[in-house]
Homo-oligomer: A and B are copies of this chain.
Amino acid sequence: MKNVAQLPVGLFDSGMGGLTVFKALAQRLPTEDLLYLGDTARLPYGTKGRSTIVRYTLKAAQHLVDMGIKMLVVACNTATSAALPTLREHFSPLPVLGVVEPGAIAAASASRNGHIVVIATEATIAGGAYQHAIARIRPQAVVTGRACTLFVPLAEEGWMDGPLVEGIARRYLADVFHLADLPQQDSPQPDTLLLGCTHFPLLQGALQNVLGPKVRIVDSAATTAESVANELQRSGLMHPGQASGKYRFLTTDNTPRFAKTGAMFLGRPINEEELFLVDL
């Protein structure tokens, strides 16, 4: 019989964005098996209502749990902010980690002046999860949330830099970063941008060009991988083997988009034999 520690870590996302978290996890924990489920038939979650997101997330998580996983990582900001408490309750005692807390930690420790802008999908911003998580860690922080809806299709289209992408970024961020005018004394310049959506690291170069070198841009991928490592260590669930982990990618839609677009997020091609279609 298989030891629980030998089971894969399950990652769930609405689509391909969570592959940026997958990539960080594979780098930090190279001997762990990883099982990824992207709910591509229902993506994007970010413009949908909370109860719809919770329903979809529970269904997808159940599928991973039925396949056998030792931990669930919700590699999607929208699903984390809508459904994390429900998932923890439903699948207890399985450890369930999200990306919001690690992202909040990254931003709270990166910022010097405590003025942080978080950009994410409509659903994540409306839910306020990042604003609350940062307030818990650093109560004096001033956090401004901004929904950047077009960044998701932009990243998926592979348009990651150039004047159009920078123009779109400027339109979303000009007022919160006072890009058009001089900073006013009563409203200090934010010094940190938190990428609260797993798609957004692909646009980091363009965002840095727009905001200038003084603004620090952070995301939750690396800190989430660190949290997963800590949790596996704490609970004695680190994979006992020394060999490289095995990877499987499940999707709910049969379009070639997952492999094509996913490769950009993962930073390497996704092979046919790693890819499986599931019907949820």
Contacts and interface: CB of A to CB of B under 8 A. Distances in A.
Interface string A160-184: 0001100110010000000000000
B153 A163 contact: no
Contacts of A163: 167
A277 B81 CA distance: 23
A237 to B, nearest CB: 35
Interface stretch (A20-28, A39-47, A88-96): A39-47
A31 interface: no
This protein's copies in its complex? 2
Contact of A164 (B152, B157, B167): B167
Interface string A252-266: 111101000000000
Nearest to A48: B253
Contact of A257 (B47, B51, B257): B47
A52 interface: yes
A256 to B, nearest CB: 8
Given A167-B163, A167-B164, A255 B47 contact: yes
B48 A52 contact: no
Contact of A153 (B48, B51, B149, B254): B149
Q: How large is the interface on A (under 10, 10 to 19, 20 to 34, 35 or more residues)?
A: 20 to 34
A253 B52 contact: yes
A154 interface: yes
Nearest to A41: B52
A49 interface: yes
A150 interface: yes
Contacts of A123: 255
Nearest to A40: B48
Most buried by B among A152, A164, A254: A164
Interface string A127-164: 00000000000000000000001101110110100011
Interface string A106-126: 000000000000000011000
Contact of A42 (B41, B51, B122, B157): B41
A230 to B, nearest CB: 35
Interface of A: 40-42, 47-49, 51-52, 122-123, 149-150, 152-154, 156-157, 159, 163-164, 167-168, 171, 252-255, 257
Task: Please name the 5 residue pairs, one residue from A and one from B, whose CB atoms are nearest each other, closest first.
Answer: A49-B255, A49-B254, A153-B153, A52-B253, A164-B167
